[in-house]
Structure 1
Amino acid sequence: MRAAARTFTGRHMLIVTAAFFAVVIGVNVTMAILASTEWSGLVVENTYVASQEFNGKAAAMRAMAAGGISGNLSVRSDVIHYDIYNRDGPPATVDDVTLKFRRPVGDHEDFRLDLVKEDEGHFRAAHHVQPGDWIVEIISRKKEVTVMHEAVRIDTAEFGQ
Protein backbone atom coordinates (compact mmCIF):
# COMPACT_ATOMS: atom_id res chain seq x y z
CA MET A 1 0.00 0.00 0.00
CA ARG A 2 1.44 3.20 -1.12
CA ALA A 3 0.69 6.67 0.35
CA ALA A 4 -0.91 9.19 -1.93
CA ALA A 5 1.54 11.77 -3.26
CA ARG A 6 0.94 15.30 -1.96
CA THR A 7 1.17 18.20 -4.30
CA PHE A 8 2.26 21.76 -3.58
CA THR A 9 -0.83 23.85 -4.20
CA GLY A 10 -1.61 27.54 -4.38
CA ARG A 11 -2.87 27.38 -0.79
CA HIS A 12 0.56 26.14 0.36
CA MET A 13 2.25 28.99 -1.50
CA LEU A 14 -0.10 31.50 0.17
CA ILE A 15 0.77 30.10 3.61
CA VAL A 16 4.54 30.22 2.90
CA THR A 17 4.31 33.79 1.58
CA ALA A 18 2.18 34.96 4.53
CA ALA A 19 4.58 33.31 7.02
CA PHE A 20 7.59 34.97 5.35
CA PHE A 21 6.05 38.44 5.50
CA ALA A 22 4.83 37.87 9.08
CA VAL A 23 8.42 37.14 10.15
CA VAL A 24 9.77 40.20 8.28
CA ILE A 25 7.12 42.51 9.76
CA GLY A 26 7.61 41.02 13.25
CA VAL A 27 11.38 41.59 13.14
CA ASN A 28 10.93 45.16 11.86
CA VAL A 29 8.42 46.01 14.60
CA THR A 30 10.69 44.49 17.27
CA MET A 31 13.73 46.43 16.01
CA ALA A 32 11.75 49.69 15.83
CA ILE A 33 10.57 49.27 19.43
CA LEU A 34 14.09 48.47 20.66
CA ALA A 35 15.57 51.40 18.74
CA SER A 36 13.09 53.91 20.13
CA THR A 37 13.35 52.74 23.75
CA GLU A 38 16.98 51.72 24.21
CA TRP A 39 19.19 53.58 21.72
CA SER A 40 21.45 56.17 23.33
CA GLY A 41 23.28 57.64 20.36
CA LEU A 42 23.50 61.31 19.55
CA VAL A 43 21.73 63.18 16.80
CA VAL A 44 24.14 64.97 14.46
CA GLU A 45 23.55 67.08 11.38
CA ASN A 46 25.89 65.12 9.12
CA THR A 47 27.17 61.72 10.26
CA TYR A 48 30.01 61.67 7.72
CA VAL A 49 31.40 65.03 8.88
CA ALA A 50 31.02 64.00 12.53
CA SER A 51 32.97 60.78 11.89
CA GLN A 52 35.77 62.71 10.19
CA GLU A 53 36.07 65.14 13.12
CA PHE A 54 35.96 62.48 15.85
CA ASN A 55 39.68 61.66 16.14
CA GLY A 56 40.69 65.32 16.30
CA LYS A 57 38.12 66.05 19.00
CA ALA A 58 39.16 62.97 20.98
CA ALA A 59 42.83 64.05 20.90
CA ALA A 60 41.93 67.56 22.07
CA MET A 61 39.87 66.10 24.94
CA ARG A 62 42.77 63.87 26.02
CA ALA A 63 45.11 66.89 26.02
CA MET A 64 42.69 68.89 28.20
CA ALA A 65 42.29 65.94 30.58
CA ALA A 66 46.09 65.75 30.92
CA GLY A 67 46.06 69.41 32.05
CA GLY A 68 44.42 68.31 35.30
CA ILE A 69 41.44 70.66 35.34
CA SER A 70 38.22 69.02 36.47
CA GLY A 71 34.66 70.15 36.98
CA ASN A 72 31.62 69.26 39.04
CA LEU A 73 28.06 69.81 37.76
CA SER A 74 24.97 69.74 39.96
CA VAL A 75 21.32 70.34 39.10
CA ARG A 76 19.00 70.88 42.09
CA SER A 77 15.65 72.64 42.42
CA ASP A 78 15.92 74.58 39.16
CA VAL A 79 19.43 75.81 40.06
CA ILE A 80 22.47 74.64 38.12
CA HIS A 81 25.92 74.85 39.73
CA TYR A 82 29.26 74.18 38.07
CA ASP A 83 32.54 74.27 39.96
CA ILE A 84 35.89 73.97 38.17
CA TYR A 85 39.18 73.11 39.88
CA ASN A 86 42.89 72.82 39.08
CA ARG A 87 44.72 69.53 39.55
CA ASP A 88 45.92 70.37 43.07
CA GLY A 89 42.51 71.59 44.33
CA PRO A 90 42.17 75.38 44.10
CA PRO A 91 39.49 76.87 41.83
CA ALA A 92 40.54 77.25 38.21
CA THR A 93 40.68 80.74 36.70
CA VAL A 94 37.89 80.76 34.11
CA ASP A 95 35.97 83.71 32.66
CA ASP A 96 32.82 82.02 31.35
CA VAL A 97 31.09 78.64 31.26
CA THR A 98 28.54 77.53 28.67
CA LEU A 99 26.36 74.44 29.04
CA LYS A 100 24.64 72.68 26.15
CA PHE A 101 21.93 70.31 27.35
CA ARG A 102 21.03 67.62 24.82
CA ARG A 103 18.72 64.65 25.02
CA PRO A 104 20.40 61.35 24.08
CA VAL A 105 17.80 60.87 21.35
CA GLY A 106 16.16 63.75 19.56
CA ASP A 107 16.86 67.45 19.68
CA HIS A 108 13.49 69.13 20.30
CA GLU A 109 14.24 69.79 24.02
CA ASP A 110 17.91 70.81 23.63
CA PHE A 111 18.99 74.18 25.01
CA ARG A 112 22.07 76.27 25.70
CA LEU A 113 22.78 78.09 28.94
CA ASP A 114 25.48 80.62 29.88
CA LEU A 115 26.32 80.43 33.58
CA VAL A 116 26.95 83.47 35.79
CA LYS A 117 30.26 83.66 37.64
CA GLU A 118 29.67 83.78 41.42
CA ASP A 119 33.28 83.51 42.52
CA GLU A 120 36.54 82.19 41.07
CA GLY A 121 35.79 78.68 39.78
CA HIS A 122 32.11 78.76 40.83
CA PHE A 123 29.27 79.35 38.36
CA ARG A 124 25.49 79.10 38.57
CA ALA A 125 22.23 79.72 36.72
CA ALA A 126 18.56 79.39 37.49
CA HIS A 127 16.84 77.23 34.89
CA HIS A 128 14.27 74.43 34.98
CA VAL A 129 15.59 71.18 33.51
CA GLN A 130 13.00 68.61 32.46
CA PRO A 131 13.31 65.22 34.20
CA GLY A 132 15.18 62.42 32.48
CA ASP A 133 18.49 61.67 30.79
CA TRP A 134 20.64 64.49 29.44
CA ILE A 135 24.07 64.81 27.90
CA VAL A 136 25.58 68.09 29.06
CA GLU A 137 28.45 69.58 27.08
CA ILE A 138 30.40 71.98 29.29
CA ILE A 139 32.75 74.55 27.72
CA SER A 140 34.89 76.68 30.04
CA ARG A 141 36.90 79.59 28.59
CA LYS A 142 39.47 82.08 29.75
CA LYS A 143 40.00 85.06 27.43
CA GLU A 144 38.22 83.28 24.55
CA VAL A 145 40.51 80.23 24.89
CA THR A 146 38.86 76.94 25.82
CA VAL A 147 40.52 75.59 28.97
CA MET A 148 38.06 72.75 29.62
CA HIS A 149 35.60 71.02 27.34
CA GLU A 150 33.81 68.02 28.72
CA ALA A 151 30.59 66.12 28.32
CA VAL A 152 28.74 64.38 31.13
CA ARG A 153 25.65 62.25 31.06
CA ILE A 154 23.19 62.94 33.86
CA ASP A 155 19.78 61.78 34.97
CA THR A 156 18.01 64.68 36.65
CA ALA A 157 16.14 62.22 38.87
CA GLU A 158 19.54 61.44 40.50
CA PHE A 159 19.89 65.13 41.43
CA GLY A 160 16.55 65.27 43.24
CA GLN A 161 14.51 66.87 40.45
Structure 2
Amino acid sequence: MSTATKQRSPKRGFTGWHMVAVMSLFFGTVISVNLVMAWNASRSWSGLVVENTYVASQQFNGKVAEGRAFQASGIKGRLTTEPGAIRYVLTRNGEPEQKIDKVIAVLKRPVEEHEDLRVELHPRGEGAFVLAEELKPGQWIAAMMAMAGDAVVHRQTIRFIAEGRDK
Protein backbone atom coordinates (compact mmCIF):
# COMPACT_ATOMS: atom_id res chain seq x y z
CA MET A 1 0.00 0.00 0.00
CA SER A 2 1.25 3.27 -0.87
CA THR A 3 0.15 6.30 0.89
CA ALA A 4 0.27 9.45 -1.03
CA THR A 5 0.31 12.58 0.93
CA LYS A 6 -2.00 15.16 -0.38
CA GLN A 7 -0.87 18.73 -0.26
CA ARG A 8 -3.56 21.04 0.81
CA SER A 9 -3.61 24.61 -0.31
CA PRO A 10 -3.61 26.96 2.64
CA LYS A 11 -6.96 28.57 3.44
CA ARG A 12 -7.12 32.11 2.21
CA GLY A 13 -8.67 34.18 4.97
CA PHE A 14 -9.03 37.90 5.31
CA THR A 15 -5.66 39.23 4.24
CA GLY A 16 -4.00 42.61 4.28
CA TRP A 17 -5.01 43.17 0.67
CA HIS A 18 -8.64 42.69 1.61
CA MET A 19 -8.27 45.32 4.32
CA VAL A 20 -6.66 47.75 1.86
CA ALA A 21 -9.60 47.23 -0.52
CA VAL A 22 -12.19 47.78 2.24
CA MET A 23 -10.45 50.94 3.48
CA SER A 24 -10.04 52.29 -0.05
CA LEU A 25 -13.71 51.73 -0.87
CA PHE A 26 -14.86 53.28 2.41
CA PHE A 27 -12.74 56.42 2.21
CA GLY A 28 -13.28 56.70 -1.54
CA THR A 29 -17.03 56.78 -0.94
CA VAL A 30 -16.73 59.36 1.87
CA ILE A 31 -14.47 61.62 -0.18
CA SER A 32 -16.69 61.32 -3.28
CA VAL A 33 -19.82 62.25 -1.33
CA ASN A 34 -18.03 65.21 0.29
CA LEU A 35 -16.89 66.50 -3.10
CA VAL A 36 -20.40 66.24 -4.56
CA MET A 37 -21.93 68.00 -1.54
CA ALA A 38 -19.30 70.77 -1.61
CA TRP A 39 -19.87 71.31 -5.32
CA ASN A 40 -23.66 71.54 -4.82
CA ALA A 41 -23.25 73.92 -1.88
CA SER A 42 -20.94 76.25 -3.76
CA ARG A 43 -23.34 76.40 -6.73
CA SER A 44 -26.53 77.02 -4.76
CA TRP A 45 -25.56 79.42 -1.96
CA SER A 46 -24.34 82.93 -2.49
CA GLY A 47 -22.44 82.78 0.79
CA LEU A 48 -23.29 86.38 1.57
CA VAL A 49 -25.61 87.16 4.45
CA VAL A 50 -24.61 90.80 4.95
CA GLU A 51 -21.93 92.93 3.34
CA ASN A 52 -20.46 94.12 6.63
CA THR A 53 -21.38 92.35 9.88
CA TYR A 54 -20.20 95.25 12.05
CA VAL A 55 -22.44 97.76 10.27
CA ALA A 56 -25.36 95.30 10.36
CA SER A 57 -24.95 94.90 14.12
CA GLN A 58 -25.01 98.68 14.57
CA GLN A 59 -28.27 98.92 12.59
CA PHE A 60 -30.01 96.12 14.48
CA ASN A 61 -31.58 98.21 17.27
CA GLY A 62 -32.93 100.71 14.73
CA LYS A 63 -34.54 97.92 12.73
CA VAL A 64 -36.13 96.46 15.86
CA ALA A 65 -37.56 99.88 16.80
CA GLU A 66 -38.89 100.35 13.26
CA GLY A 67 -40.53 96.90 13.38
CA ARG A 68 -42.22 97.72 16.68
CA ALA A 69 -43.53 101.01 15.27
CA PHE A 70 -44.96 99.21 12.23
CA GLN A 71 -46.59 96.64 14.49
CA ALA A 72 -48.11 99.37 16.69
CA SER A 73 -49.64 101.06 13.62
CA GLY A 74 -52.18 98.22 13.32
CA ILE A 75 -51.45 97.58 9.63
CA LYS A 76 -51.34 93.92 8.67
CA GLY A 77 -50.47 92.40 5.32
CA ARG A 78 -51.56 89.08 3.84
CA LEU A 79 -49.84 87.58 0.81
CA THR A 80 -51.54 84.99 -1.39
CA THR A 81 -50.19 83.37 -4.52
CA GLU A 82 -51.70 81.54 -7.42
CA PRO A 83 -50.17 80.53 -10.73
CA GLY A 84 -49.54 83.75 -12.62
CA ALA A 85 -50.29 86.25 -9.83
CA ILE A 86 -49.28 87.48 -6.40
CA ARG A 87 -51.84 89.33 -4.27
CA TYR A 88 -50.99 91.40 -1.19
CA VAL A 89 -53.86 92.79 0.90
CA LEU A 90 -53.27 95.42 3.57
CA THR A 91 -55.69 96.03 6.43
CA ARG A 92 -55.68 98.30 9.47
CA ASN A 93 -57.70 97.00 12.41
CA GLY A 94 -59.65 94.67 10.11
CA GLU A 95 -60.57 97.33 7.53
CA PRO A 96 -58.91 97.74 4.10
CA GLU A 97 -56.01 100.22 4.29
CA GLN A 98 -56.71 103.23 2.06
CA LYS A 99 -53.65 105.46 2.63
CA ILE A 100 -51.09 103.23 0.93
CA ASP A 101 -50.50 104.06 -2.71
CA LYS A 102 -47.51 101.88 -3.58
CA VAL A 103 -46.19 98.44 -2.61
CA ILE A 104 -42.70 97.33 -3.59
CA ALA A 105 -41.69 93.69 -3.23
CA VAL A 106 -38.25 92.14 -3.31
CA LEU A 107 -38.78 88.48 -4.16
CA LYS A 108 -35.84 86.20 -3.57
CA ARG A 109 -34.97 82.56 -3.10
CA PRO A 110 -33.81 81.47 0.37
CA VAL A 111 -30.36 80.32 -0.82
CA GLU A 112 -29.80 81.72 -4.30
CA GLU A 113 -29.58 85.25 -5.58
CA HIS A 114 -29.64 84.88 -9.35
CA GLU A 115 -33.48 84.78 -9.44
CA ASP A 116 -34.07 87.81 -7.18
CA LEU A 117 -36.71 90.29 -8.38
CA ARG A 118 -37.58 93.82 -7.31
CA VAL A 119 -41.10 94.64 -8.48
CA GLU A 120 -43.91 97.09 -7.84
CA LEU A 121 -47.37 95.67 -7.23
CA HIS A 122 -50.33 97.40 -8.89
CA PRO A 123 -53.26 98.71 -6.79
CA ARG A 124 -56.58 96.91 -7.24
CA GLY A 125 -58.71 98.77 -4.66
CA GLU A 126 -59.76 97.85 -1.11
CA GLY A 127 -56.15 97.73 0.09
CA ALA A 128 -55.22 95.07 -2.46
CA PHE A 129 -52.12 95.13 -4.65
CA VAL A 130 -51.48 92.59 -7.41
CA LEU A 131 -48.51 91.50 -9.47
CA ALA A 132 -49.21 89.49 -12.61
CA GLU A 133 -45.94 87.57 -12.60
CA GLU A 134 -45.28 83.86 -12.97
CA LEU A 135 -42.85 82.73 -10.28
CA LYS A 136 -40.92 79.52 -10.62
CA PRO A 137 -42.24 76.84 -8.27
CA GLY A 138 -40.57 76.49 -4.89
CA GLN A 139 -39.75 78.51 -1.79
CA TRP A 140 -39.53 82.30 -1.94
CA ILE A 141 -39.01 85.14 0.51
CA ALA A 142 -40.99 88.32 -0.13
CA ALA A 143 -39.75 91.53 1.50
CA MET A 144 -42.81 93.77 1.19
CA MET A 145 -42.61 97.56 1.61
CA ALA A 146 -45.85 99.60 1.65
CA MET A 147 -45.54 103.33 1.02
CA ALA A 148 -47.73 106.40 1.31
CA GLY A 149 -46.05 108.99 -0.87
CA ASP A 150 -42.33 108.71 -0.10
CA ALA A 151 -42.80 107.44 3.46
CA VAL A 152 -42.55 103.75 4.31
CA VAL A 153 -45.58 102.94 6.47
CA HIS A 154 -45.32 99.16 6.64
CA ARG A 155 -42.61 96.59 6.09
CA GLN A 156 -43.07 92.83 6.21
CA THR A 157 -41.07 89.76 5.24
CA ILE A 158 -43.02 86.66 4.27
CA ARG A 159 -41.73 83.21 3.37
CA PHE A 160 -44.01 81.34 0.98
CA ILE A 161 -44.13 78.50 -1.52
CA ALA A 162 -45.09 79.24 -5.12
CA GLU A 163 -46.98 76.43 -6.77
CA GLY A 164 -46.29 75.57 -10.39
CA ARG A 165 -48.90 75.38 -13.11
CA ASP A 166 -50.49 71.97 -13.69
CA LYS A 167 -49.22 70.44 -16.90
Q: Same fold (TM over 0.5)?
A: yes
Match of 1:156 in 2: 162
Letter in 2 for 1:81: R
Name the structure 2 match of 1:90.
Answer: 95
Looking at structure 2, the residues matched to 135 and 42 of structure 1 have their Cα atoms a distance apart, in angstroms, of 16
RMSD: 3.1
Q: Residue type of the partner of 1:112?
A: R
The alignment covers a number of residue pairs equal to: 134
Match of 1:67 in 2: 73
TM-score norm. by structure 2 comes to 0.68
User: Deviation string for 1:73-109 (max 9, x for gaps)?
Assistant: 111011111110001x111121100110011112111
- Counterpart amino acid of 1:91? P
3-state SS of 1:101 partner:
strand
Q: Which has the larger radius of gyration?
A: 2
Find the aligned partners of 1:104 and 1:47 in 2 and give their Cα distance.
Answer: 19
Q: Runs of 4 or more off by more than 4 Å in structure 1?
A: none
Structure 2's unaligned 5+ residue stretches are: 1-26
Match status 1:101 vs 2:107: yes
Distance 1:71 1:115, change over 3 A: same
Shift in CA distance, 59/160, structure 1 to aligned 2, threshold 3 Å: farther
Paired residues of 1:135 and 1:153 also in contact (CA < 8 A): yes
Q: TM-score, normalised by structure 1?
A: 0.70
Asked whether the 8 Å contact 1:43–1:106 carries over to 2, the reply is no
For each residue in 1:131-157, what CA deviation from the matched residue of structure 2 results, as whole angstroms up to 9, or x when unmatched? 111111000011211111010111113
Task: Give the fraction of aligned pairs with identical amino acids, expressed as a percent.
Answer: 38
CA distance in 2, matches of 1:49, 1:131: 34
Residues 76-155 of structure 1: pairs in structure 2 closer than 5 A? 76-87=82-93, 89-92=94-97, 93-155=99-161
Residue 69 of structure 2 is aligned to residue 58 of structure 1:
no
Q: Secondary structure at the match of 2:113?
A: coil
Q: Displacement, 1:53?
A: 1.5
